[in-house]
Structure 1
């Protein structure tokens, strides 16, 4: 499948939980290694939140792919918890081919929802590192999966049965 919008191959997006059990990290990494192309053939989109978003972005770059980042608001990186997460955010953002920032002055549920929807609107296939449960706030993983499905965007859910989210 080729994206008519940009002339690049399939554009893969990600949504997912911010705190991931180790089994889920392994599940997602193994799946991406098996199904995603490497090198210039790989084009990934991420909002760079903690957890699944940063994990996928790092995979795209490590595989030699192109990363597009869509941020929910100005100063989003400062809102991430923990120095390690903020450092990863900064590194991934610098490595991205493009960075788009949604028109929100600060983090909010509306900003998260808008960024997730913009990501879905730009991708051809969405990976959801998701336990299948309802979102804990507007713009959460369940909301983005629902939006993708209503738009006809294929969604692959990556989770291990029996593993509980923290």
Structure 2
């Protein structure tokens, strides 16, 4: 079983959702048995979880829980996906909210054999974001697969 983590854009055009899920399913079907790892953030992370489930795979959630935020389970869409998670790890790091997002994303990378980046290749971004997570995965020697509508820009 291959452990595949995900990182990606939170804000995606709704018109791109079907294309991204299709491309994720195509990628996942290329592996024999899939176990996903996701922070279940809005956008790419949730689309990835849907694709994993559609491919009869399993996934675990690594949730960033900033000190100042409400419990993540208050989000109905997140709560629905969490019912399918084989395991849930909550990560809280003191400091700004981005510190928890960075720590959770790095934990996804550490637990993964492969990282899927739903990403346009833009190296700009914030702490714990896609570009930083891809850079961390490269430092760790992880295989990285990029999925983006129309290819990598």
TM-score tier, shorter chain, comes to 0.7 to 0.9
For 2:12 and 2:4, how far apart are their aligned partners in 1? 20
* Two-structure CA RMSD over aligned residues (Å): 2.6
2:24/2:147 contact within 8 Å kept: no
Q: How many residues align?
A: 148
1:148/1:24 CA distance change after superposition, 3 Å:
farther
Partner of 1:97: 86
**TM score, norm. by length of structure 1:** 0.78
1:138/1:66 CA distance change after superposition, 3 Å:
same
Deviation at 1:137, TM superposition (A): 1.6
- Listed as ranges, the gaps of 5+ residues in structure 2 are none
Partner of 1:76: 72
* Structure 2 residue 126 is the aligned partner of structure 1 residue 137: yes
SS in 2 for 1:95: coil
Per-residue CA distance 1:54-102 (angstroms, 9 max, x = gap) = 1101111232211110011262344xxxxxxx22211111210000011
Point out the structure with the larger strand share: 2
For 1:136 and 1:127, how far apart are their aligned partners in 2? 17
- Among 115, 119, 122, the alignment partner of 2:108 is 119
SS in 1 for 2:83: helix
* Structure 2 residue 147 is the aligned partner of structure 1 residue 158: yes
User: Which segment is superposed worse, 26-35 or 40-49?
Assistant: 26-35
Runs of 4+ in 1 over 3 A off after TM superposition: 103-107, 160-164
Counterparts of residues 33-112 of structure 1 (less than 5 Å): 33-37=25-29, 41-73=33-65, 75-78=71-74, 86-104=75-93, 108-112=97-101
1:24/1:158 contact within 8 Å kept: no
* Structure 2 residue 24 is the aligned partner of structure 1 residue 32: yes
Deviation at 1:46, TM superposition (A): 0.5
For 1:70 and 1:160, how far apart are their aligned partners in 2? 26
